[in-house]
């Protein structure tokens, strides 16, 4: 039995990239839904 190290390395690399990407998208989604709207600073309204 022999191990194809190149294929194993590819699987590891792709799964690492997908995992980091998924965590990044999830984090941005959580931050986007939890962010409170910013209030306008007093005295800067033009109306």
The pLDDT tens digits for 1-47 are 899 999 999 999 999 999 999 999 999 999 999 877 777 666 666 66
How far is Cα 13 from Cα 15, in angstroms, rounded to an integer?
6
Buried b (16+ CB within 10 A) or exposed e, 4-24: eeeeeeeeeeeeeeeeeeeee
How far is Cα 35 from Cα 32, in angstroms, rounded to an integer?
6
- The reported pLDDT for the residue numbered 39 is 73
- The reported pLDDT for the residue numbered 35 is 75
- The reported pLDDT for the residue numbered 37 is 73
How far is Cα 25 from Cα 31, in angstroms, rounded to an integer?
10
- The reported pLDDT for the residue numbered 12 is 98
- The reported pLDDT for the residue numbered 46 is 66
């Amino acid at each position: 039995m022999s191990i194809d190290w190149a294929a194993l390395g590819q699987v590891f690399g792709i799964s690492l990239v997908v995992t980091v990407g998924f965590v990044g998208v999830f984090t941005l989604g959580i931050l986007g839904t939890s962010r409170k709207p910013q209030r306008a600073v007093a005295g800067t309204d033009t109306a």
